[in-house]
Structure 1
Amino acid sequence: MPLRRGRLFIVALMALFTAGAAVSMRAATAVHMRSEYLDPIDVANAGAMLGAVLGAAFAGFAITLLLVSAVLAKIGFRNALLAAAALLIIGFAVVAGAGSLGISPYTGLWVGMLIQGLGWGMVETVINPLTSAIYAEDRVSRLSILHAWYPAGLVGGALMGLAVDGAGVPWRLELAVLAVLCLAFAALAWVENFPPVSASTDAPVTPGEMIKATIQSPTIFLWVILMMFTAAAEFAPGQWVDVALSQIVGMRGIWLLVYVSALMFVMRHFAGPMVRLLGNIGLLIVSAIFATIGLFALSVVDGPLGAILASTAWGFGVCFFWPTMLATVAERYPRSGTMVFGLMGAAGAACTWVVLPTLGRISDAAKLAAAGGDPAVVASAQGAELQQILAAAAEASFRSIAVIPLVLIFIFTAIKIADRMRQKS
């Protein structure tokens, strides 16, 4: 069967759409998981527990990327996509039955999220080198179009969660819909012919050569660290926005995620012109500036209009982070092959895994401080008192995460200056 790159790209888009829908599903159902499972366990520390549960998906994501990327050539694109679908479906099933597995519901949720993360990581392991392989002549633009379907999935999953809540049916129903999407992209992958994994770079190399090239290029690890920062600025607020803002800004926080994701879906289709205008590093500098403004603004909003304006700035800021970072390292370190994709993705996910529970602890501590140090007040607060407590928690959470893109502004600017000096010499 001939290689049909248009259909292969559709498979990649569907897989990433499904993974994105699963991410926003976690954000949309976080309030249900907290009230149904975590508040009864320990209301004073429910935020930290919820952060750990949500972060477990990013841990699984990081594990898969780190372990599978270097051996993807042995596994092959098709087998990896089939494994991704299976892991996602198993993870959905475990989360759906977290309260009836004979273990702590917290543990059940954590394990289910971890398995989902393994499947999500398998999707990410495949789609980036697959797109690089089939569109070697236009990688930045195609990677940005590909990653536009991640926010499209976020929109789909969030709207699904809102519809389920509005209909008054069990929140677990959307997990079944996501499982059907997994079966769909797996079925398409089963019948297509895939290129060799080695075609994903301009300098095809073996796994051993990838490892050697990576070790011999220590500056790669600077980009790995930077990926931690950019991913945390994008993913952590997206998972936290519904929990933190729903009772403060006069609307469900998940609507902000829908809006930002739709914005990202449109804007990522214009990454090519943006890169030609600003260059990769210039685009990263501009992105960091807007992300900083947006996150600081989200820490103080108290109404729908302010929340939308702040989200616009944050969304524009984080829109190009992930695809631009991947394209940049692929261009700078071609002999690191798929391993560099794995390192970057794993680093970003691992940092988010750490940041989410930290946000939970910051939120819990701010709530307790606003309640005068009395956990009973946190548990029983209502009306204006509750609003004050929640506002303090949101301010502390978003202000702490805003420091990350602020630091990135200076680092990316330094890289831009260093690149120009290198070109002149």
Structure 2
Amino acid sequence: MTQGIQRSSLFWASCLALLVTSLSFGIRAGILERLGTEFNLSTEELGVIASTVFLGFPLAVIIGGFLVDIIGMKRLLILAFAFHLLAIILTIFANGYWTLLISTLLIGIANGTVEAACNPLVATIYPENKTTKLNHFHLWFPGGIVIGTLIVMGFDELGLGWQAQMATMLVPTVIYGFLFSRLSFPVTERVASGVSTADMYKAVASPLFIFMFLCMFGTAITELFTNQWVGLLLGNVIDNALLLLTITTGIMVIGRAFAEPIVHRFAPQGVLLASAIVAAIGLYLMATTSGNMLLVAALLFGIGVCYFWPTMIGFVAENIPKSGAVGLNLMGGAGMFAVFVYTYFMGGNYDKIVLKNLPAGADLKAYQAATAGSTEAVAFANARLVAGPEVIKTTLIIPIILIVAFAGLVFYMKGRKKETLS
């Protein structure tokens, strides 16, 4: 299938494109609170802006999933490059709520278009080792978040503003756009293997696919909501909340790099069950501890969420292969849409918790804009000290549900294996 195709070049160009999507998460997570201050935005407004990336992503990844077999992966990736370029430039020149909202939506569309093409591309060029190579590909997502947070911290030390931090994304964007424009692409695995469109839709409607589709809501929220909001939620609990994100994503990079022996030893469903257990422990510690114990919590949380996204997609690619690119992209779209909805509501919920811990009738924006050291500023900081862990406690319910779901999946797959062998 891949004879004559520049497999290694395609894989590394895909990794570079994913690096751009993750840089957008890492840098935006680092500057989110600053944008709120500079443009006088409430946490609810920041929540709407942050959640918009998770709306653009599923729209692009689902539409792209239906188009990829028709127009090809190359054209989709050229579109992703154009959207990334436009989104980054618009963010750099943003002047308020609406420009930030539109640029974030475009970032989400670009990110979704990358995954719409690259997930089936990796599964196509590595048919013998899908879950492992998808983990290797997706290590660039936490890797880019690590790089993004380091850029934020380093540029802050140098006194360079958030616009300069966003501008760093232009370099890998231009490079991946150039590389993809010059490379040859295969057709998707489903097209190459001759699976009909009717069989593809039948696979997507199967009970196992629907189960994994629903579980993707929970795995995506657990990982992406927490990582995107950790600076905001725990900024008043620890001096440098971005350090938590750096630890979490750093562990994710290492874990995904060494995914092969773990996936082969425990099978995708076993990895997912263990991941849900460790992620729940990490979230619990994040919500109930402080100081150095938060670093331990971030470490455990990183181990827990490390394999969620690529292993969910890899499970579908291996066990429901007839679902094709549409199946893989529906999984990605489901995850990001769930994060969009959850982030949207959690922004408002966070503000409600803060208001509940302020004097009756308090004006939230007035307290947010209060001069540092004033009575209002101290009260606002104390209210945030309560709100962040409360939101994390709410989120903890999700991996607990996943533990039960994935335990059931382990037993189901054991039964299916016995039926196959008998």
- How far 1:36 moved relative to its partner? 1.3
- How far 1:170 moved relative to its partner? 2.1
| Correspondences of 1:284-295 after superposition (within 5 Å) | 284-295=272-283
- How far 1:208 moved relative to its partner? 5.2
Q: Distance in 1 between matches of 2:97 and 2:147?
A: 27
| Correspondences of 1:84-233 after superposition (within 5 Å) | 84-99=80-95, 105-197=96-188, 199=189, 203-207=193-197, 209-215=199-205, 217-233=206-222
Contact 2:64 2:117 in 1 (8 A): no
Counterpart residue number, 1:279: 267
Where structure 1 has 5 or more consecutive residues not aligned to the other structure, the ranges are 40-45, 100-104
Tell me the secondary structure at the aligned position of residue 258 of structure 2: helix
Q: How many residues align?
A: 410
Counterpart residue identity of residue 8, structure 1: L
- Can you list the C-alpha shifts for 1:105-142, whole angstroms capped at 9, x where unaligned? 22221111011100000111111111111111111111
| Correspondences of 1:9-408 after superposition (within 5 Å) | 9-39=11-41, 46-99=42-95, 105-197=96-188, 199=189, 203-207=193-197, 209-215=199-205, 217-251=206-240, 253-303=241-291, 305-376=292-363, 378-379=367-368, 380=370, 381=375, 385-408=379-402
Q: Distance in 1 between matches of 2:262 and 2:124?
A: 23
Q: Which deviates further from its counterpart, 115-124 or 382-391?
A: 382-391
Counterpart residue identity of residue 249, structure 1: I
Contact 1:55 1:352 in 2 (8 A): yes
Q: Distance in 2 between matches of 1:12 and 1:327?
A: 16
- Can you list the C-alpha shifts for 1:56-110, whole angstroms capped at 9, x where unaligned? 01111000111111220222222111111110111122222231xxxxx222211
Q: Distance in 1 between matches of 2:43 and 2:9?
A: 42
- How far 1:201 moved relative to its partner? 7.9
Q: 1:81 to 1:309 in 2, by over 3 A?
A: same
Q: Distance in 2 between matches of 1:308 and 1:314?
A: 10
Tell me the secondary structure at the aligned position of residue 288 of structure 2: coil
- How far 1:368 moved relative to its partner? 1.1
- Can you list the C-alpha shifts for 1:212-234, whole angstroms capped at 9, x where unaligned? 4423x243122111001100000
Q: Which deviates further from its counterpart, 382-391 or 88-97?
A: 382-391
Contact 1:48 1:364 in 2 (8 A): yes
Contact 1:214 1:340 in 2 (8 A): yes
The two structures have a TM-score, normalised by structure 2, of 0.92
Q: Distance in 1 between matches of 2:190 and 2:37?
A: 45
Q: Distance in 2 between matches of 1:300 and 1:170?
A: 33
Counterpart residue identity of residue 76, structure 1: G
Counterpart residue identity of residue 26, structure 2: S
Contact 1:201 1:335 in 2 (8 A): no
Q: Distance in 2 between matches of 1:10 and 1:329?
A: 23
Tell me the secondary structure at the aligned position of residue 375 of structure 1: coil
Contact 2:248 2:299 in 1 (8 A): yes
Q: Distance in 1 between matches of 2:160 and 2:239?
A: 23
Q: Which deviates further from its counterpart, 230-239 or 151-160?
A: 151-160
Contact 2:27 2:149 in 1 (8 A): yes
Q: RMSD of the alignment, in Å? A: 1.9
Q: Distance in 2 between matches of 1:95 and 1:207?
A: 39
Contact 1:20 1:154 in 2 (8 A): yes
Counterpart residue identity of residue 223, structure 2: E
Q: Distance in 2 between matches of 1:192 and 1:235?
A: 31
Contact 1:241 1:256 in 2 (8 A): yes
- How far 1:408 moved relative to its partner? 0.3
Contact 1:288 1:409 in 2 (8 A): yes
Q: 1:201 to 1:276 in 2, by over 3 A?
A: farther
- How far 1:205 moved relative to its partner? 2.9
Q: Which deviates further from its counterpart, 411-420 or 130-139?
A: 411-420
Q: Distance in 1 between matches of 2:57 and 2:4?
A: 32
Contact 1:290 1:317 in 2 (8 A): yes
Counterpart residue identity of residue 261, structure 2: P
Contact 1:47 1:361 in 2 (8 A): yes
Q: Distance in 1 between matches of 2:114 and 2:197?
A: 20
